[in-house]
Structure 1
Amino acid sequence: MENQINEKIRNAKRIVLKVGTSTLTYSNGNLNFSLINKLAWVMSDLKNQGKEIILVSSGAIGVGSKKLNFKTRPTEIREKQAAAAVGQVELMHIYQNFLGEYGQRIAQILLTKDDFKEGERKTNTYNTLDTLLSLGIIPIINANDTISTFEIEFSDNDRLSASVASLIKADLLIILTDIDALYDSNPKTHKDAKRIPYVKEVTDEILQMGGEKGSEFSVGGMETKLLAARECYENNVMMAILDGSDPSYISDFIFGKDIGTIFDCE
């Protein structure tokens, strides 16, 4: 079984990577340029191996909040939208610079829940992503927080990444986070917490293992990642949770290192 799973991961061609605000930034909310550069290198290396890469990136509101000199993540919808508008420009500029250094081309796509509902918009979203991948482009996706209050109030990019992976029929979704795996209890508060390396199905018992959210500039917690895993399971997409502090773990994981948590899809 383990060999079959490792082979499936190693042979994954279409991969969605999700990176959260707490991974992209320091605890003070400033961007971690060293980490972003390493992430760009890993994505470029995977592309050179013939893999298709989609990046779902959080951080627009957090980055925009810092640019606007907000001391904490704003709570008012209009301030969140303003921060998202400012932060999205900053994020894309940074991704373009770092990925461009490794010869990669990127595209920005902002999505709402309506883009995943059955109908023309869903078809158009799939066609756009599929075409960009066929052209060797790395699509960088975020929720369209600037215009959609519904997304800000009720959504998160863990679930968005699962929806993207399901729509585009990805082989693998990797969610990078500030906890290196799913544990049977919160490792930040329980020293005896044990890593769960493999999950066959996201049951109600597994969902109850979801803990607190990350930094004050982030939104998601382990619960949102488990909900994303359940959506992936329902759509036949393998998912993994990995430590986002070092993007080289992505390559280690793909080539068989026993790290993180794997959520199977069969």
Structure 2
Amino acid sequence: MAALDPLHGKRRVVLKVGSSLLVGAGLKAAWLASLAADIAALRSDGVEVVVVSSGSIALGRGALRMAPGALPLELSQAAAAVGSIALAQAWRDALLAHGIETAQILLTLEDSEDRRRYLNLRSTLNALLDLGAVPIVNENDTVATDEIRYGDNDRLAAQVAVAAGAEACVLLSDVDGLYTANPSQDPAAVRLDEVREITPAIEAMAGDAGSGLSKGGMRTKVLAARTAVRGGCDLIVTDGRIANPVAALRSGGPRTVFVADDHPASARLRWIAAMKPRGRLTIDAGAQVALDDGRSLLPAGVVAVEGSFGRGDPVEITGPAGPLARGLSRYTAEEAARISGLRSDEVEAALGYPARAALVHRDDMTPWTR
């Protein structure tokens, strides 16, 4: 039986909000205020929250008094440029009422698929959450092209959840879960409370119809679930049309939970372990002791750099007696060679620009396996 509260015990959660929930004739301020109260309650329970929010185009086209109907690309981008300001301000006002600061992050799908950008996204999300802010993430519709035409924030939310190491990604939707058939057409349709494997039969149950200003259908949610569960993150579809939708979910409200394959940290380490190293970092005995203690690899412990690799590329880490680990480098091979052997306070002067403390962060490192 599914747990009453699918967010119980979760440390980090991503909430996805679609345009149709947030925008009608204008901003649905009362609904947003209720969701802000839900977010404040989650944080009071020790849960870190990231929001993936649509709505910039919808708000922008209203502000610019654009006619209803499909928009050409340049007008969609213009609407997004205006609406992104209003969207960010709406979220800031709603959460500031609870003493919570917000931050805006605008992405394209490439930002979570390219390893270098992925690391930058992950570091920024972690820094903001450590500082107590709620990141508000949206596609960068002002400059994006294919994202506006074909993109959806269900997929983006799943990718952000994996990048953030979230244990759950909640898609607030205009349906309350995945049904065996379309419930508006088949009275025998049954909602699935839990899905432990995304089979062809499960995929066949998903429809493509979106509603109103929203681009996503159930099909996109199942595809997003596939991304999330492989990354160790539960994906939950629940009804977002009601006030306080997260509180309702946590009280046992209707939903479908796509159950993760593993913990996000374990899934991430498997992903790193499967990569082919593009270079090698040889470290001294002192650095090996630090790694054995679960610490990051600092430049001071590196005695040799081999290969040609960029930021975010996988590297082999070798100690005096042989291979120790694989990890994602936060520096290029040329940069790593310049700072190897240096103390952390010497790195910026050697590079000529601000630098990260770790050459390979402990969260981006997995023990060597043959």
Taking structure 1 as the reference length, the TM-score comes to 0.92
Secondary structure at the counterpart of residue 130 of structure 1: helix
The alpha-carbon distance between structure 1 residues 218 and 121, as it changes in their structure 2 partners (threshold 3 A), is same
Match of 2:16 in 1: 18
How do residues 28-39 of structure 1 correspond to structure 2 at under 5 angstroms?
29-39=25-35
Letter in 2 for 1:111: L
- The secondary structure found in structure 1 opposite 2:197 is coil
Q: Which runs of 5+ in 1 are unaligned?
A: none
- The answer to whether the 8 A contact 2:179-2:205 is kept is yes
Alignment of 1:167-246 (within 5 A): 167-246=163-242
Contact 2:208 2:220 in 1 (8 A): no
What CA distance in whole angstroms lies between the structure 1 residues aligned with 2:84 and 2:19?
A: 12
Q: Compute the displacement of 1:95 (Å).
A: 1.0
Asked if structure 1 preserves the Cα contact closer than 8 Å seen for 2:11 and 2:48, the reply is yes
Corresponding residue for 1:87? 83
Q: CA deviation at 1:114?
A: 2.0
Q: Cα distance 1:98–1:114, how it changes in 2: closer, same or farther (>3 A)?
A: same
Matches within 5 A, 1:80-119: 80-119=76-115
Of the three residues 230, 246, 252, the one matched with 1:250 is 246
The match for 1:259 is: 254
Structure having the higher Rg: 2
User: Is the counterpart of residue 151 in structure 1 residue 152 in structure 2?
Assistant: no
Structure of greater relative contact order (alpha carbons < 8 Å, 6+ residues apart): 1
Separation (CA, whole Å) in 2 of partners of 1:122 and 1:227: 20
Offset from partner CA, 1:39-77 (integer Å, 9 cap, x none): 111101111111100000011111212222223253311
TM-score w.r.t. structure 2 length? 0.67
The alpha-carbon deviation at position 253 of structure 1 amounts to 2.7
How does 1:33-48 map onto structure 2 within 5 Å? 33-48=29-44
Q: Is the 8 A contact 2:206 2:219 kept in 1?
A: yes
Distance 2:69 2:57 in 1: 8
Which amino acid letter does the alignment assign opposite residue 230 of structure 1?
R
Say whether the 8 Å CA contact 2:60–2:82 is kept in structure 1.
yes
Equivalent position of 1:68 in the other structure: 64
Partner in structure 1 of residue 310 of structure 2: none
Contact 1:43 1:53 (C-alpha < 8 Å) held by counterparts = yes
Q: 1:186 and 1:117 mapped to 2: Cα distance?
A: 33
Query: What secondary structure is seen at the aligned counterpart in 2 of 1:208?
Result: helix
Measured in 2, the distance between the counterparts of 1:41 and 1:112 equals 29
Structure 1 residues 103 and 73: CA distance shift in structure 2, 3 A: farther
> Do the aligned partners of residues 73 and 165 (structure 1) sit closer, same or farther apart at CA in structure 2, a change above 3 Å counting?
farther
More displaced, 58-67 or 134-143? 58-67
CA distance in 1, matches of 2:241, 2:174: 7
Residue of structure 1 equivalent to 2:364: none
**Deviation at 1:154?**
2.6
- More helix per residue: 1 or 2? 1
The residue that corresponds to 1:122 in the other structure is: 118
By how many angstroms is 1:157 displaced? 0.3
**Does the residue aligned with 2:70 lie in a helix, a strand or coil?**
coil
Deviation sequence 1:83-134 (CA, Å, 0-9, x none): 1111111111111111111111000000112211343211111000011001
Local SS of the residue matching 1:9: coil
Cα distance, 1:190 vs. partner? 2.8
Mapped contact 1:72–1:216 kept (Cα < 8 A): no
Distance (Å, rounded) in 2 between the aligned partners of 1:180 and 1:101: 28
Shift of 1:24: 1.3
Which letter maps to 1:233? V
Q: CA deviation at 1:8?
A: 6.6
Deviation at 1:9, TM superposition (A): 3.1
Match of 2:360 in 1: none
What amino acid does structure 2 have at the position aligned with 1:263? F
Structure 2: gaps (5+ residues) = 262-370
The code of the aligned residue for 2:61 comes to: S
1:247 Cα deviation after fit? 4.7
**2:135 pairs with 1:139:** yes
